[in-house]
Amino acid sequence: MQGFALYPFDPPGDVAALRAELRAWLAANQPRGDVVARANCWASFDTDFSRKLGAAGYVGMTLPPRFGGGGRHPLERYVVIEELLAAGAPVGAHWIADRQTGPLILRYGSEEQCQRYLPGIARGELYACIGLSEPGAGSDLAAVRTTARETAEGWRINGQKIWTTGAHFSHIMLALVRTEAGSERNAGLSQLLIDLDTPGITIRPIIDMADHHDFNEVFFDDVLVPHGALVGERGQGWRQVTAELGLERSGPERYLSSHALLAALIDAAGVDPDPAVIALIGELVAEMWTLRQLSMSTAAKLAAGEDPMVEASVVKELGNAFEQDMPRRVQAIVECPWDDPSDLGRLLRALLIASPSFSLRGGTREVIRGIIARGLGLR
């Protein structure tokens, strides 16, 4: 049984100074983005902003200096991403590369892969996407069917990925593929780093119900990548992906996607708010604070080099429920017609449409609850 642990959040250095420095930087450099782009902002894409943020040292913070990184502590990075998300900064372009692809390459990749990819990631210029889901393998990732066969020239890849966020602007995909012919379930899978301009790759947009192009289908038709594209150990893809998901599930992005709505609600409340609005603001702030403590403690466990699979899943599940319910709870007490042009009205509309996806991305609610139950010895 894995159990559940709370770790103290104790970043080195002067955290107040780090926050103040970043807030000043954001005041000078953050684009005057539309209020809707500030909600769920880790899905908002702005390559200029990512590059400037990288130049200021706020991307690739935990990567070693010899690969262009900042050599900072993971909890200092946590403080920085919390500030960026709270400010609604458009961090979507570099988000996946910074959060998980870079650290995964550092942990499992070869020296050549580190030299080739990490400096661009740290500059906020090299973007990555996650090649896990397939038409028959989303929650059940062990059903992955995309194959990579080793030949004299390299790996030949055939198959299809789906729901790939950002594939249309990314440079690389870290893909989970079946490298061992005849293997089943979670055996025989490996991770490959695929340059997305390789011949034979077709990327087709999927437009979501908010009319946004975030997702894609990615087809591999006899794609040849070098032997050196293998990341980590052949056949160990399942173990590596599980580690990657730990990085994906517990950060402040798991409870701050609707944060801009809370700020707009407070702004719109005025000096003499309705008691129901006051009560809702109080509830939301208290819940968010509790989630924050849980997320920070999980980050501390990760930073200590341990595997917080259960804690990360709890943060994801409770955080997603919070950020998903917030628009509905605001809608229930605030008079706001569907076409209301105020910031509050526009944010509410956008989040009511986007929020159903919050508990799907990164693993669906039912699957996450299964992981928690198993980790706590309840099933």
Ligand X SMILES: Cc1cc2nc3c(=O)[nH]c(=O)nc-3n(C[C@H](O)[C@H](O)[C@H](O)COP(=O)(O)OP(=O)(O)OC[C@H]3O[C@@H](n4cnc5c(N)ncnc54)[C@H](O)[C@@H]3O)c2cc1C
Q: Which is nearer to ligand X, 69 or 319 (CB)?
A: 319
Q: Hey, how many other C-beta atoms are within 10 angstroms of the C-beta on 287?
A: 17
> C-beta of 356: minimal distance to ligand X in Å?
8
User: Rounded to whole angstroms, how far apart are CA atoms 84 and 94?
Assistant: 13
248, 253, 311, 323: the catalytic one is: 248
Beta strands in the chain (DSSP E): 128-131, 147-150, 155-161, 172-178, 189-195, 201-207, 213-225, 230-231
Q: Residue 195 class from Cβ within 10 Å (0-12 exposed, 13-18 middle, 19+ buried)?
A: middle
Rank residues 245 and 334 by Cβ distance to ligand X and give the closer one: 245
Nearer CB in complex with ligand X: 77/249: 249
Binding site for ligand X (CB under 6 A): 129-133, 138-140, 163-165, 357, 360-361, 363-364, 366-367, 370
Cβ closest to ligand X, residue 165 vs residue 295: 165
Active-site residue flag, 150: no
Could you give the CA distance from residue 317 to residue 291 in angstroms, rounded to a whole number? 10
Which residue in 192, 201, 191 sits closest to 221, CA to CA? Answer: 201
- Where b means 16+ CB within 10 Å and e means fewer, 90-129 reads bbbbbbbbbbbbbbbbbebbeeebbebbbbbbbbbbbbbb
Min dist. Cβ of residue 134 to ligand X (A) = 8
User: To the nearest 10°, the Cα dihedral for 351, 354, 359, 363?
Assistant: -150
Cβ proximity to ligand X, 259 vs 301, nearer residue: 259
Nearer to ligand X, 137 or 224 (CB): 137
Rounded least distance, CB 243 to ligand X, Å: 16
Nearest Cα neighbor of 245 from 377, 373, 132, 106 is 132
Q: How far apart are CA 66 and CA 126, in angstroms?
A: 17
CB of 330 vs ligand X, minimal distance in Å: 21
Q: What is the DSSP letter of 250?
A: S
> In angstroms, what CA-CA distances link 292 with 182, 251, 267, 376?
45, 9, 22, 21
Residues 6+ apart with CB under 8 A from 200: 157, 220, 221, 222, 223, 224
| Helix and strand numbers, DSSP H then E, in the chain | 13, 8
Minimum distance from CB of 119 to ligand X (Å)?
Answer: 23
Q: Provide the minimum distance between the beta carbon of 13 and ligand X in the complex, in angstroms, as a whole number.
A: 33
- Give the nearer residue to ligand X in terms of CB position, either 250 or 357: 357
CA angle 207, 123, 14 (to 5 degrees): 110
Q: Minimum Å distance from CB 141 to ligand X? A: 8
What is the number of the residue whose Cβ is closest to ligand X? 138
Which residues carry out catalysis?
Answer: 248
